[in-house]
Chains A and B, each alone.
Chain A
Amino acid sequence: MSALYLTLVLPLFGTLLLSLIGHWRSAGAINLAICTATFVTSLLLAIDVFNQGPLLSPDKMFYVDAFNVYLILLNAFVGMTTAVFSGPYMAHELEIGRVDDQRMRLYYSMYQGFLLTMLVALSTNNLGLLWVAVEGATLATVLLVSLYRTPESIEAGWKYFMICGVGIAQALFGTVLIYFAAERVLPGSEESLLWSVLHQHATELEPAVLTLAFVFLLVGYGTKIGLVPLHNWLPDAHSEGPTPMSAILSGLLLNVALYAVVRFKMLIDPALGSNLAGNMMMGFGLLSFVVASLLLHRQRDVKRMFSYSSIEHMGLMTFAFGIGGPLATFGALLHMIVHSLTKSAIFITVGHAAHVAGTQSIDKIRGLIRTQPAVGWCFLLGTVAIAGFPPFGVFTSEFLLFTATIKSWPWLVIPLLCSLGIAFAGLFRHVQPMVFGEPPAGQVAVKANMWPVILHLLLVLWLGIAIPGVLASWIDQATTMVVGKGLL
């Protein structure tokens, strides 16, 4: 239990501390130290949960089970490795004058604040607090998107704020409706918004209200997942914000929003006794997957391109959770991990590549392998991994997902496979000249620490070749919780 509290208190402490000293030269190192400590405590938490099963805090405010503990661990891990990258990166931005001391304080403080809201959202047992935390994540990151104060970044920030604010308001209405339904079953109880209580009484809840609630919840949290047609904010926010933010937005925030939707689906499925919620998710997911893979081709900004790739993958996961069944759910849970790891690695590499070329424009980044082999190769391998090539983990999870689709909805494999091919072509068409092309004269290597990227890619490779037994049994437990039946 104390591990959980520490995991939450550390980033809170970091938010306050770095809001005061974020402009120090050592702020990057302090940020990294706090993130590392958070990772260690979350590891202890994970071991606790692994040994003792689900943890419910005494005041019933927090609930950690196999489903969210691995996401907490993933969050803390990606937060830590991105912090390794963010220190030198932001120091460079400070040097070239894109940010000043005050904005550095804002940046570091909100970096921790964002991690805090993510961890609260994942570990809370209260569905209302889940909403508060996800909205808090928007608020924490919105000023970071406009950190550079260019007209483009301000536009991106405003769009992000309005679209996500409006979207997430729908989710609050859905939460109110869930509370309304719960009040019928547990009148006057202060506990009727607790997930652990609601899950026990799920079958007694009124189906008509829950159906309506889920529509609002899916639209609301779906905006944050980046589901088409609510995805407009995502490429803008990712391309205009500082690159470490893009890495954690893509790797973590989208996962947390999807987590919220799946939690609600777990309540709604038993109440409805049908796969209505799943069908809605499948529709949105498939649409996102197809549209994003087409839009990949039209991009001119490298970060925008990879944010479309994020939409594509989030769509695929939403689709897979929608199918339901142990195989698809197992695949989707695994895909959450490998996508987070790969995508944050790619964004970190893109950050270095943009420093090498001095621009984010795809047309102007050329010849990375010649100028700086480490960056070039990581870029290429990361793209290979995200496109779903064996032996990387993305291949494994996508293989599982497609197998599940063939079993239950064979015809849907056709659009899925086509989109996968289109997305692959879109990625490589842009990435190949960036990596292999002729470097412009005078392009020199920059100081780059590629260890976080290499570590992420190695982990993804490991997951592709052999999933460690501990992790497999965790994901299996989570699968059992989500769909009632394990895979292994």
Chain B
Amino acid sequence: MQMAALPLSEQMILTLAALILFTSFLLLAQTRIVTLIHTFAWQGALLFFATVLVAIVSGRHHLLISAGLTLALKVFFIPWQLRRLVVRLDIRRDVETVGSSSLIMIGAGALVLFSYYVALPIRELSMLSTRNTIAISLAVILIGMLMIITRRKAVAQVIGFMSMENGLMFAAVSATYGMPMVVELGVAFDVLVAAILFGVFFFQIRNGIGSLNVDHLNRLNEVD
């Protein structure tokens, strides 16, 4: 089916999905910490727009609350808090060297293909727009994982973790018009607590090993 044949709202959702995936790739490639935080905030903003759009189109207005939570947490609170921590820990100018970055990008591309392959059985029984959105949200989750694996800086790992969370929210919003309200609230609460705990951990790691490079966390081994 042609893209133009879809209703306008679905076209917009698909466009937003593509943009969210795009920001995931940006996160993966970005090595400057402050820019990384900004990119993450943009991904949150895209998620917010997608949620609002779905809420209006589907007429499920409780999604607007979920959108508000996304706006407050993912666009403002978490980026603001991360930025503040980065300033306080004085690592604003840090540039992370990521080894074999082109290989990682190819890997991320492969993950997108894999997500489409995994989502194949779902695509069959679903409306057109959800076909793609589930695959894309899975890809966002997997790219977030890849980011956690490839990055050595604790801040970058946290952003990878939070972008996985974005992928999950996008899956919930686009495939099922959000989760039941109590679950949305619970998940948002968990994310909030996690964001605060990450901040605590930055200081603990910094004080414990003198740097935020998690490669230095290597004292616990299976065999010594």
Contact A162 B197, CB 8 Å, known A126-B183, A212-B121: no
Flag if A179 contacts B148 (CB, 8 Å).
no
In the bound complex, residues from chain A placing their C-beta under 8 Å from that of B183 are 126, 128-129, 131-132, 193
Contacting residues, chain B, for A204 (C-beta < 8 A): none
* Contacts A/B (CB < 8 Å), 7 sampled: A131-B183, A132-B187, A136-B193, A155-B218, A169-B161, A169-B164, A169-B168
Q: Is the CB of A149 within 8 A of B204?
A: yes
Stretch at the interface among B5-13, B75-83, B91-99, B207-215: B207-215
Residues of B in contact (CB 8 Å), total: 48
Residues from chain A with Cβ under 8 Å of B209 in the complex: 151, 154
Task: Type the 1/0 row for B137-168, where 1 means its CB is closer than 8 Å to any CB of A.
Answer: 11001000100100000100100010011001
Q: Are B189 and A132 in contact (CB under 8 A)?
A: yes
Tell whether, in the assembled complex, residue A172 and residue B186 are in contact, meaning their CB atoms are under 8 Å apart. Answer: no
Specify the chain A residue showing the minimal Cβ separation from B183.
Answer: A128
Q: In the complex, which residues of chain A have a beta carbon less than 8 angstroms from the beta carbon of B121?
A: 208-209, 211-212
Question: How many A-B contacts at CB < 8 Å in the complex?
Answer: 132
A133 to B214, CA, bound (A): 28
Which residues of A sit under 8 angstroms from B137, Cβ to Cβ?
Answer: 173
A-contacting 9-mer, from B24-32, B44-52, B171-179: B171-179
Are A151 and B219 in contact (CB-based, < 8 A)?
yes
Report if B57 contacts A (CB, 8 A): no
A154/B217 in contact, CB under 8 A = yes
What is the CB-to-nearest-CB distance from A152 to chain B, in angstroms, rounded to a whole number? 5
Residues in B neighbouring A129, C-beta threshold 8 A = 182-183, 186
Q: Are B197 and A161 in contact, CB atoms less than 8 angstroms apart? A: yes
Are A173 and B171 neighbours in the complex by a CB distance under 8 Å?
Answer: yes
The secondary-structure label for the interface of chain A is helix
| Chain A 48-70 interface residues, beta-carbon cutoff 8 Å to B | 61
CB-nearest residue of chain A to B223: A298
Known: A193-B183, A208-B124. A173 touches B197 (CB 8 A): no
Q: Is B124 a contact partner of A139 (Cβ separation < 8 A)? A: no
A158/B168 in contact, CB under 8 A? no
Which chain A residues numbered 129 to 180 have a C-beta less than 8 Å away from chain B?
129, 131-133, 135-136, 139, 142-143, 146, 149-152, 154-159, 161-162, 165-166, 169-170, 172-173, 176-177, 179-180
Contact in complex: A132, B186 (CB < 8 Å): yes
For chain A, residues 409 to 457, give those with C-beta under 8 angstroms from any C-beta of chain B: none
Residues of A within 8 A of B197 (CB): 139, 142-143, 161
Complex contact B161–A209 (CB within 8 A): no
State how many angstroms separate the Cβ of B30 from the closest Cβ of chain A: 20
Q: Is B18 an interface residue (CB 8 A)?
A: no
In the complex, residue of chain B having the shortest beta-carbon distance to the beta carbon of A232: B222
With known contacts A212-B122, A236-B220, A154–B204 Cβ distance under 8 A:
yes
A154 touches B205 (CB 8 A): yes
Q: How far apart are the CA atoms of A157 and B121 in the complex, in Å?
A: 38
The answer to whether A287 has its CB under 8 Å from any CB of chain B is: no
* A3 CB, nearest partner CB in chain B, Å: 22
Q: How far is the CB of B158 from chain A (nearest CB, A)?
A: 9
CA distance A211 to B120 in the complex (A): 12
Distance in angstroms between the alpha carbons of A136 and B176 in the assembled complex = 24
Nearest A residue (CB) for B181? A190
Tell me, in angstroms, the Cα distance from A206 to B164 when the chains sit together: 26
Among the interface residues B168, B186, B193, B201, which one has the most CB atoms of the partner chain A within 10 A? B186
- A residues contacting B by CB (< 8 A) are 61, 126, 128-129, 131-133, 135-136, 139, 142-143, 146, 149-152, 154-159, 161-162, 165-166, 169-170, 172-173, 176-177, 179-180, 183-184, 190, 193, 206, 208-209, 211-212, 235-236, 239-240, 295, 298, 300
Known: A208-B122, A212-B122. 9 other contacts (CB 8 A): A132-B187, A154-B209, A156-B220, A162-B161, A169-B168, A176-B175, A177-B122, A193-B179, A295-B222
Contacts of B186 in A (CB 8 A): 128-129, 131-133, 136
Q: B173: nearest residue on chain A (CB-CB)?
A: A176
Our pick among A158, A176, A209, A235 for the contact of B172 (Cβ within 8 Å) is: A176
Contacts of B176 in A (CB 8 A): 176, 179-180, 183
Give the secondary structure class of B's interface: helix
CA–CA, A170 and B145, complex, Å? 10
- CB < 8 Å: which of A146, A240, A300 contacts B204? A146
Q: Which residues of A contact B218 (CB under 8 A)?
A: 155
Residue of A nearest to B186 (CB): A132
Instruction: Report Cα–Cα, A126/B186, bound state, in Å.
Output: 12
For residue B180, CB closer than 8 A to chain A, the reply is yes
Contacts of B90 in A (CB 8 A): none
Contacting residues, chain B, for A235 (C-beta < 8 A): 220
What separation, in Å, do the CA atoms of A136 and B165 have in the docked complex?
A: 15
Which residue of the partner chain B has the closest CB to A184? B125
Partner of A128, one of B118, B122, B148, B179: B179
Question: A173 to B164, alpha carbons, bound, how many Å?
Answer: 10
- By beta carbon, the residue of chain A nearest B202 is A158
Are A166 and B164 in contact, CB atoms less than 8 angstroms apart?
yes
B198 and chain A: residue at smallest CB distance: A161
Decide: A151 near B179, CB < 8 A? Known: A132-B190, A169-B141, A208-B122. Answer: no
CA distance A128 to B185 in the complex (A): 10
Judge whether A146 and B168 touch: CB under 8 Å.
Answer: no
Task: Judge whether A157 and B204 touch: CB under 8 Å.
Answer: yes
Determine if A128 and B180 form an interchain contact, defined as CB atoms under 8 angstroms apart. yes
Contact status A146-B201, CB under 8 Å: yes
C-alpha spacing A112/B122, complex, angstroms: 41
Q: How far is the CA of A161 from the CA of B214 in the complex (A)?
A: 13
Smallest CB–CB gap between A277 and chain B, Å?
16
A209 proximity list for chain B (CB < 8 A): 121-122, 125
Which of A128, A150, A165 touches B182 (beta carbons < 8 Å)? Answer: A128
Residues of A within 8 A of B122 (CB): 177, 180, 208-209, 212
Contact status of A190 and B207, CB under 8 A, knowing A161-B197, A212-B122: no
Can you name the residue of chain B whose Cβ is closest to the Cβ of A169?
B164
Which one of B121, B124, B182, B218 has the highest number of Cβ atoms from chain A below 10 Å of its Cβ? B182
A300: chain B residues at CB < 8 Å are 224
Q: Is B72 close to A, CB under 8 A?
A: no
Q: Collect the chain A residues with CB atoms within 8 Å of residue B168's CB.
A: 169, 172-173, 176
Over the window 115-141 of chain B, the binary record of Cβ atoms lying under 8 Å from chain A Cβ atoms (1 yes, 0 no) is 000100110110000000010011001
Interface pair B205/A158, CB less than 8 Å apart: yes
Select A212's contact among B118, B157, B182, beta carbons within 8 Å: B118
